[in-house]
Amino acid sequence: ALQGKPPYTTQIRFKKTEIDINDQQLDGKSEKDEEIISMAFSATPLRNAFGEITGAVCVGQDVTELTQQRHEAQAVAAGLNKLIEDAAVPMFEVSLEMLIVDWNAWLAKKTDKTKAEVLGTKLQTFLASECQAEVLRHLAAEFRKEGFERDCSDRFEVSFEGFKLTLLMNAVPRTDRHGRTVSIICVGQDITK
């Protein structure tokens, strides 16, 4: 701001120390609790009548709670991703375009197709021809569901081309912050005979 540039915003973290007055020693203060406070600041140049910069006006806002909520949400998301990846059941996720966007370790082991190999590939590439139409119809119907309908999923069978693998699946929509379905997570059990 002191260089005359447009408003500048930054986030600064402070250590907040509470002093317990009853515990003060003659030689100074004792620290009771220490926590980190996050503040977002915006600075704008302060100019005199001649247009010269004489200082800066700074405005700050405590964003500690928002920062903590963001970290907690990231931890929950990481935990859910780990759950999907390490689950002892088949799980995959498809986008609206029926592209595979997630493929867990169980499926990778059973199909010999790594996550890297299948991500971005059309789901029907891996489906057995006799079940392609039914699976795609079922998943398309899941994308059209709204409200309480999303809580109810019919079970459907998935067979993979070239593998002796038949799964009984449930589909659960994944929604964005506006409640719109952005992908379908499929969770199932192996019913191969």
Residues 134-179: tens digit of each pLDDT: 888 888 888 777 655 555 556 777 888 777 888 999 888 888 888 8
pLDDT value, residue 43: 84
The rounded mean pLDDT for the chain is 81
- Could you tell me the sign of the dihedral formed by the alpha carbons of 116, 120, 123, 128, in that order? negative
**pLDDT per position as a tens digit, 97-118:** 999 999 999 999 999 999 999 9
Distance CA 12, CA 122 (A): 45
pLDDT value, residue 116: 95
pLDDT value, residue 108: 93
Q: Is the pLDDT of residue 27 over 70?
A: no
Distance CA 15, CA 41 (A): 16
Q: How confident is the model at residue 57 (pLDDT cuts 50, 70, 90)?
A: confident
3-state secondary structure of 37: strand
pLDDT value, residue 25: 47
Cβ atoms within 10 Å, residue 115? 15
